[in-house]
Amino acid sequence: MKRLARLLILLVFLLGLWWILLSLGHILHHEDPLAKADVIFVLGGSRIDRIAEAGDLYLEGWAPRILLSRQLSEGGEVALRERGITVPAEVDIQRTVLVNMGVPSDAVEALTAEQVTTATEGDALVDAARAHNWSHIIVVTSKLHTARARLAVTRRFAGTSTRIVMRASRHDRANVDRWWETRSDSRFALFEAQRMLAYWVGIAD
């Protein structure tokens, strides 16, 4: 009987694990209904997908301005700049893309400090929201990053009346139903799953 009980427990565990793996893409994907906002904030971590979404949202009239994150410079960028070689920052390339999409240059701003995590981006966004008195913010990221990003950002705005609308880029090719089929999606999903678990158990913010 004890052996049968152990086997049943193991079976239930394996079935639960299988269900979690099958559902992981949807666990990691959370979007809010679009609503008019004061600004569209683009999280770092994607070269063009998120920027293209922000540009489309702006052109559709969802917000009058776009705020870009500023990603940490690579070692090679820093080394070349120290030699006096001009290396365009990613945020400057993104700004150019937005202008080429038809977004006015004066409608695009960027954080001044480089950001290292979603949490630090959330902190910087809180400061910007206070400085500009923003009460409604659309945050753009990738599909498999939306749930954790929403958790990280809304934690920063806890106790305020600021409304956060989380949106995934429509240009992101990730398949939330079959996230395991491509190397990039599977790596992203498994990394996000680890980070989400760390958020839930309280060892990450």
The pLDDT, as a whole number, for residue 188 is: 87
pLDDT at 77: 87
- Best-predicted range by mean pLDDT (10-24, 66-80, 121-135): 121-135
So what's the pLDDT on residue 8? 64
Q: Using alpha carbons, select from 98, 33, 88 the residue that is nearest to residue 68.
A: 98
Residue 11 has what pLDDT? 59
The answer on pLDDT for 1 being more than 70 is no
pLDDT at position 198 is 85
* Residue carrying structure tokens 């793996």: 21
pLDDT at 174 over 60: yes
Q: What's the CA angle centered on 149, arms 143 and 154, to 5 degrees?
A: 135
Return the pLDDT at 40.
Answer: 99
Taking residues 113-126, what's their average pLDDT? 94
CB 112, CB 159: distance < 8 Å = no
State the chain's maximal CA–CA distance in angstroms.
Answer: 75
Residue 60 DSSP class: T
Predicted local distance difference test score (pLDDT) of residue 197: 84
pLDDT reported for residue 173: 93
The pLDDT value recorded for residue 10 is 58
Domains of the chain in start order, with CATH, are 26-177 (3.40.50.620)
**pLDDT at 136 (0 to 100):** 98
pLDDT at 125 over 80: yes
Q: Which position has the higher pLDDT, 21 or 170?
A: 170
* Beta partners for residue 136, in sequence order: 163
